[in-house]
Amino acid sequence: MWAKGGRGLISGTEFKIIDTISREIGNPISIRGLTTEIKREFGSAHYPNIYNALLGLKDKNIIQIEKQGNASIPLLDFSNYLLPDMLIEIELQKKHNFLQKWPEAQFLLSNLDQALSALSFIRSILLIEPERNMRLNRAELLILIDQENLADRQKARSMINELRRHSNIRMEDLILSQGKLIDFLKSSEKNPIKEMLSDKIATYLPQSFWNLIRNAYIHGTRIRFDNERTNLSKIKESDVAYNLAKFGYKELGPEIRQGEDYSVEYIISSILMGDDPRRAAAASILISKNRPSFELLEFLSMRHGFAEKLLGLLEAINDISPAPEFSDAISAFKERGINPSSVDDGQIRNLMELYVPRTG
């Protein structure tokens, strides 16, 4: 089965092709570009070998090749009912190769499988940026659940917190419904979910994950994985100002011009990673007016080190304009032992009175 030996269902070259294309969903890449990407990722690639293997995969209806101008673009053939089976083989192979290199991760993955398999609403578990995170002695988990349900989310969160207490590897988790995942993947905005899925291993129920992706495609939903990771500290000032205005907060100053579209979670995170208290107060407006994914914000705050600042902001917002989603987000932080930073409640209250009209 395994690619390194080139045995079983797929050859080593086929593995490299399918793995690389599956990281680039929604980003058309020519055969020459694919060869370059495979060489970068795996160390070697020869165009004739890649081309011949692609023709073989086309004959098996795994790959379709489209002409765009003078370029030939290989794409996964999502019309093929059996495509997810091939992608499951890729995920199993990636997990096998990962655990060969990082055997210490086997204890973590085994415990995850045992604990979360008892929860019937868990649809899949993805290990995000596995190599990079293991070098940092950490693991990032994207846990997909059936649908938005607070009780289910709390059960999964409680189970993860228990595993975290007994793990020697730092664990960060993000729990998303399948519907919310697709919403992020089809968005035209830069967002962390699209970037996460370009470097992941579906370690638990990979068939559920890939069937979800296939079903989205065959129902006409165009989704995208982004293989370039956004550096939140380097988002251009003009793009921050543009997105602030887009999400309902207009700053005084130069005329706002069209810029790069980022998700509200990315803009809030970029602001809170900085040291500008005025901008931090502005984040309260984005949170109040747009109701971002608090699960994603919590995950980003733990990844980038602004959890205390975000918690302080959430508590201030909830004091001024209480809402169940604020209370749940605050509880999630406190379960992790996070203590809030102090914020300027008066400034936040003044801004909210200006920007967020009261209802009722």
Per-residue pLDDT of 177-220, as tens digits, reads 999 999 999 999 999 999 999 999 999 999 999 999 999 999 99
Question: For the residues 38-48, what does the mean pLDDT come to?
Answer: 91
Q: Give me 120's structure tokens.
A: 């019937």
DSSP code, position 262: B
**C-alpha dihedral sign at 189, 192, 198, 203:** negative
pLDDT in the model for residue 265: 97
Which of 209, 205, 133 lies closest to 173, judged by CA? 133
pLDDT digits (tens, 9 = 90+) for 266-300: 999 999 998 888 888 889 999 988 989 999 999 99
Q: Between 354 and 304, where is the model more confident? A: 304
Question: For the residues 238-261, what does the mean pLDDT come to?
Answer: 86
Instruction: Provide CB contacts within 8 A for 256, sequence distance 6+.
Output: 241, 242, 245, 250
Write phi, then psi, for 274 (nearest 5 degrees): -90, -175
Alpha carbon of residue 90 to chain centroid: 19
- Over 50: is that where the pLDDT of 3 sits? no
pLDDT in the model for residue 8: 47
pLDDT digits (tens, 9 = 90+) for 213-225: 999 999 999 999 9
Q: Between 7 and 14, where is the model more confident? A: 14
Strand 138-145 versus strand 122-128 pairing type: antiparallel
Q: Residue 114, SS3?
A: helix
pLDDT in the model for residue 280: 85
Q: Between 292 and 9, where is the model more confident? A: 292
- Over 60: is that where the pLDDT of 229 sits? yes
Query: Quick one: what percent of the chain has pLDDT higher than 90?
Result: 71
pLDDT in the model for residue 358: 60
pLDDT in the model for residue 6: 38
What does the alpha-carbon distance between residue 114 and residue 136 come to, in Å, rounded to a whole number?
Answer: 25
pLDDT in the model for residue 7: 39
pLDDT in the model for residue 256: 82
What does the alpha-carbon distance between residue 197 and residue 182 come to, in Å, rounded to a whole number?
Answer: 12
Please state, rounded to an integer, the average pLDDT across all residues of the chain.
90
pLDDT digits (tens, 9 = 90+) for 83-142: 999 999 999 999 999 999 999 999 999 999 999 889 999 999 999 999 999 999 999 999
Q: What angle do CA 201, 207, 212 make, to 5 degrees?
A: 95
- Over 70: is that where the pLDDT of 4 sits? no
What does the alpha-carbon distance between residue 360 and residue 358 come to, in Å, rounded to a whole number?
Answer: 7
